[in-house]
Amino acid sequence: MENKNSNYTTIYQEENCIGRGSFGCAMIVNHRKENKKYIAKKIILEGLQPKEQEACMMEVHFLKNLDHPNIVKFKESFFNTNLLVIVMEYCEVGDLGYHIKRKVNKPGEIFTEFEIFNWFVQICLALEYVHARRIIHRDIKT
Active site residues: 139
Do 97 and 142 contact (CB within 8 A), yes or no?
A: yes
Closest CA to 38 of 65, 68, 8: 8
Amino acid at 108: G
Interatomic CA distance for residues 2 and 130, integer angstroms:
22
Determine how β-strand 2-3 pairs with β-strand 36-44. Answer: unpaired
DSSP string, 92-142: TT--HHHHHHHHHTSTT----HHHHHHHHHHHHHHHHHHHHTT--------
